[in-house]
A = this chain, B = another copy of it.
Amino acid sequence: MADPPKKPPMTKDSLLPLLTAHVLAHGLGGASLRPLAKAAGTSDRMLIYHFGTKEALIVDLLGHIAKVYAAALDAAMGGERAATRADVVARILAHGDAPAMQPFMRLWWEIVAGAARDLPGYQLAAQAMMAQLLGWLEGQMPAGDPDPAGGARYLMTVIEGTAMLTAVGHGDTASQGLLAGGLLPS
């Protein structure tokens, strides 16, 4: 008996990954219900039914994205400790430059812009992701580092500055700065 194509239940949790894929590809700012619904295989009607409001959908989606980011960081967390701070910086910059990370990076700046404008959910998601990155950095600090906690915050500031300059096409400026600051292995 060819079982009839019983459709799996549609829940927030089954929708969020599909929605996440869509915003990673097309951005968060210009996202509207009908394209989102199409990407998730439903109708705008159903998105409103499950999330109540577009705003609530975005908030849930940002929370989900933060979790996806945390999982991605966890997955990249393996490997032995770096020997120097410069090695930590080099490692994480390489991770951020990977092609697989670039849709996420593009999305990240939209999240920052939303957080700067106090859009609901943006600050929370951004803070969660930064806290995750900070924890990861603390765990990656070299073994004999004199100030792992402060050093991790220092490196995070430098890394985020580099990411921003790279996003606007001033990546070489950042590289020269890191070199001058002794934060890149020559």
A: residues with CB less than 8 A from B are 27, 29-30, 105-106, 109-113, 115-117, 123, 126-127, 130-131, 134, 147, 149-165, 167-170, 173-174, 176-181
Closest A-B pairs by Cβ, 4 of them: A150-B180, A161-B161, A153-B177, A126-B168
Residues of B within 8 A of A167 (CB): 112, 115-116
Select from chain B the residue with minimum beta-carbon distance to A166.
B116
Select from chain B the residue with minimum beta-carbon distance to A155.
B177
Beta-carbon contact of B130 and A168 below 8 Å: yes
Beta-carbon contact of B160 and A130 below 8 Å: no
- CB-contact partner of A164 in B27, B160, B174, B178, under 8 A: B160
Shortest Cβ distance from residue A79 to the other chain B in the assembled complex, whole angstroms? 23
Select from chain B the residue with minimum beta-carbon distance to A124.
B169
- CB-contact partner of A178 in B117, B130, B154, under 8 A: B154
Known A109-B109, A109-B113: A176·B150 in contact at CB below 8 Å: yes
Q: What are 20 residue pairs bridging A and B, where the CB atoms are less than 8 Å apart in the complex?
A: A27-B117, A29-B30, A111-B168, A112-B112, A112-B167, A115-B167, A127-B169, A127-B170, A130-B170, A134-B173, A150-B176, A152-B177, A153-B176, A154-B181, A157-B158, A157-B165, A159-B161, A160-B160, A160-B164, A163-B164
Shortest Cβ distance from residue A9 to the other chain B in the assembled complex, whole angstroms? 35
* Complex Cα spacing A105 to B162, Å: 18
Beta-carbon contact of B116 and A105 below 8 Å: yes
- CB-contact partner of A150 in B27, B30, B127, B177, under 8 A: B177
Select from chain B the residue with minimum beta-carbon distance to A123.
B169
Shortest Cβ distance from residue A36 to the other chain B in the assembled complex, whole angstroms? 17
